[in-house]
């Protein structure tokens, strides 16, 4: 069957999960639920966000919001090449990340916004004034940065295109957005249970090969994050390859305005430290791995050349 993600490759059977067949594209590598099931999602016959979903997801959202997501937000402040005045959490769920950021960056509380189309019941939601129950495109605001954590795996290709279109319209030039979603290599090697059509509503694991052109059509340059096959950046900028060393350079040349935000005058500089150390951990480990592979490749060439020399001698 033709891949609904890249619309070029052919899908072969990958796994059956809770009565739904998943396929892997031989061209882009994405993992996707049966196209008939995806059509049901598009047409509203299947839905991910019932109350039983939120009963489980709110706990996970709280854990992320007061843990790893804070690190990711801080990293965006380092990576972004323009001053950040407004930051949006796309698919904010119960909006708990807004609460966490209000505690750790209280002086910048008003700059953070969250959008959620399918919110949990009111008792589970934040009361933050910038928690918006609407689509991103419905907000009369533009943003210089944002995050979208554990969202796009819920979206069919058609839904994802809609989100990217809205993001491009709401992104100022130079805006940078962090996306967290497991890519096929991570699903296959680390977490096969990530594919889950009913309980968690994970219907597609998108590869960067598939995502790159989708974002590029709307003027958003996709930037892989070395060492993380579960995250990437999307930047409203000209297409360019951003290397590990260039990402490290962004850490050390981050804009003073963005660093000032992270060094909150009321709470203190914890977000600055968290963002810097988190980004360095992944990037420096990835750089070591890249150089190790290069050295091993060079050693193999040397040994191969020596073997040929001995044979000819």
10 Å CB burial of residue 69 (0-12, 13-18, 19+) is: buried
Q: Nearest 5°: phi and psi at 167?
A: -60, -45
Q: What is the pLDDT of residues 163-193, one digit of tens each?
A: 999 999 999 999 999 999 999 999 999 999 9
Tokens 């988190």 belong to 278
Q: How many domains does the chain have?
A: 1
Q: Give the whole-angstrom CA distance, residue 72 versus residue 278.
A: 8
Tokens 């660093």 belong to 259
Has residue 304 been placed in a domain? no
**Nearest to 48, CA basis, from 116, 98, 111:** 116
Asked if 87 and 171 count as a contact pair (C-beta separation under 8 A), the reply is no
The CATH number of whichever domain residue 158 belongs to comes to 3.40.50.150
Has residue 216 been placed in a domain? yes
Tokens 């590869």 belong to 207
| Three-class SS state of 114 | strand
Has residue 277 been placed in a domain? no
Has residue 312 been placed in a domain? no
Has residue 71 been placed in a domain? yes
Question: What is the domain extent for residue 169?
Answer: 49-262
Has residue 159 been placed in a domain? yes
Q: What is the pLDDT of residues 218-236, one digit of tens each?
A: 999 999 999 999 999 999 9
Has residue 31 been placed in a domain? no
Give the mean model confidence (pLDDT) for residues 159-166.
Answer: 98
Q: Give the whole-angstrom CA distance, residue 261 versus residue 259.
A: 5
Asked if 181 and 206 count as a contact pair (C-beta separation under 8 A), the reply is yes
Has residue 2 been placed in a domain? no
Q: What is the pLDDT of residues 37-56, one digit of tens each?
A: 999 999 988 876 665 666 66
Q: Note the pLDDT of residue 298.
A: 81
Give the mean model confidence (pLDDT) for residues 20-43.
Answer: 97
Give the mean model confidence (pLDDT) for residues 209-213.
Answer: 97
């Amino acid at each position: 069957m033709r891949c609904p993600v890249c619309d070029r490759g052919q899908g072969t059977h990958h796994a059956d999960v809770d009565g739904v067949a998943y396929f892997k594209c031989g061209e882009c590598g994405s993992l996707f639920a049966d196209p008939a099931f995806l059509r049901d999602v598009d047409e509203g016959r299947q839905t991910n966000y019932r109350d039983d979903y939120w009963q489980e997801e709110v706990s996970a959202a709280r854990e992320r919001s007061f843990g790893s997501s804070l690190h990711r937000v801080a990293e965006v402040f380092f990576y972004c090449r323009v001053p950040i005045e407004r930051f949006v959490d796309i698919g904010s769920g119960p909006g708990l990340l807004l609460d966490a950021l209000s505690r750790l960056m209280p002086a910048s509380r008003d700059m953070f916004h969250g959008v959620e189309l399918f919110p949990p019941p009111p008792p589970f939601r934040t009361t933050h004034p910038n928690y918006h129950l609407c689509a991103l495109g419905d907000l009369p605001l533009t943003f210089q940065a944002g995050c979208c954590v554990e969202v796009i795996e819920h979206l069919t290709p058609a839904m994802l295109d809609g989100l990217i279109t809205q993001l491009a319209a709401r992104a100022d030039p130079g805006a940078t957005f962090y996306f967290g979603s497991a890519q096929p290599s991570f699903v296959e090697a680390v977490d096969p249970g990530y594919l889950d059509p009913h309980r968690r509503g994970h219907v597609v694991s998108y590869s960067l090969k598939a995502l790159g052109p989708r974002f590029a059509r709307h003027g958003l340059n996709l930037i892989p994050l070395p060492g993380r096959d579960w995250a990437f950046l999307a930047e409203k900028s000209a297409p360019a390859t951003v290397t590990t060393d260039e990402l490290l350079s962004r850490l050390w040349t981050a804009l003073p305005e963005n660093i000032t935000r992270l060094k909150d005058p009321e709470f203190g500089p914890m977000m600055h430290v968290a963002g810097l150390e988190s980004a360095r951990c992944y990037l420096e480990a990835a750089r070591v791995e890249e150089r190790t592979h290069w050295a091993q490749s060079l050693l193999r060439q040397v040994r191969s050349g020596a073997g040929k020399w001995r044979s000819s001698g």
